[in-house]
Amino acid sequence: MASIDYRHFTLGVEEEYMVIDPTTRELKSHEQKIVQEGQKLIMDKVKAEMHQAVVEVGTDICANVEEAYKDVTVLRNTISKIAEDLGLWVGASGTHPFSLWENQLITDHIRYNEIVNELQEAARSNLIFGLHVHVGMEDRKMAIHIANSARYFLPHVYALSTNSPFWEGRKTGYKSFRSKVFDKFPRTGIPDRFDSIEAMIIM
């Protein structure tokens, strides 16, 4: 594995922003207006999320970190400007420090309706925001090797990325309460070690 050609890897970044009322600082539904206006400028790089006070953006498939950085910068500036024009703010953190999930509206979409129907309160209360980095690679053996190796480093990355000590107006005692909220969803946490793609599919 010593002679890795990094040109065979690609990156994609997704970010979920909270939509905020500038006066109260509470989460606020943007009624998909940010998505509607955003799609005029950046097409399908912006989309609705399950909660109406969230907006998601995603980069193109990027060849390297520099390319991803430029794309993310454009997306952040675009969404921030659209929100400002609509009298709203956008913010980024693992959780909102005091807004109540019980007061948030769910986006009327077949996928989200199915999730809520299946997971009920676990889905409704999953009012969290994330930054997801996707790494594309051509070789499945390499993908399994990296997935297995990354398990060791995940707690370190987690420790460096903590940003959600508050939940519904309370100090939780955790540096990243987002992870505790997300624990209620299936297939979360550090993945198992797999010897092959086939073993992963069987799971």
Q: Is residue 118 part of a domain?
A: yes
Interhelix angle 33-42/65-85, nearest 10 degrees: 130
In the predicted structure, residue 8 carries a pLDDT above the cut 90: no
Contact 114, 74 (CB under 8 A): no
Q: Is residue 134 part of a domain?
A: yes
Q: Is residue 152 part of a domain?
A: no
Q: Is residue 86 part of a domain?
A: yes
Report the percent of the chain where pLDDT is more than 90.
Answer: 81
Q: Is residue 69 part of a domain?
A: yes
Q: Is residue 4 part of a domain?
A: no
The C-alpha atoms of residue 67 and residue 7 are separated, in whole angstroms, by 13
The C-alpha atoms of residue 203 and residue 146 are separated, in whole angstroms, by 18
| CATH classification at residue 105 | 3.30.590.20
pLDDT of residue 7: 76
Contact 176, 162 (CB under 8 A): yes
- If pLDDT is split at 50, 70 and 90, which confidence band does 125 have? very high
Would you tell me how many other CB atoms lie within 10 Å of the CB of residue 116? 17
Q: Is residue 122 part of a domain?
A: yes
In the predicted structure, residue 196 carries a pLDDT above the cut 90: no
Q: Which residue matches tokens 């969290």? A: 128
Lowest mean per-residue pLDDT among 27-41, 52-66, 189-203: 189-203
Q: Is residue 39 part of a domain?
A: yes
Containing structural domain, residue 134: 9-138+164-193
Q: Residue 40 burial (CB < 10 Å; 0-12/13-18/19+)? A: exposed
Would you tell me how many other CB atoms lie within 10 Å of the CB of residue 20? 20
Q: What is the DSSP string of 126-153?
A: -----EEEEEEES-HHHHHHHHHHHHHH
Q: What is the pLDDT of residues 83-101, one digit of tens each?
A: 999 999 999 999 999 999 9
DSSP label at 185? S
Would you tell me how many other CB atoms lie within 10 Å of the CB of residue 39? 14
pLDDT of residue 202: 63
When the pLDDT of each residue in the chain is averaged and rounded to a whole number, the result is: 93
The C-alpha atoms of residue 146 and residue 136 are separated, in whole angstroms, by 11
Tell me the C-alpha to C-alpha distance, in Å, between residue 193 and each of 62, 139, 179, 203: 28, 18, 20, 11
pLDDT of residue 139: 86
Q: How many distinct structural domains can be found in the chain?
A: 1
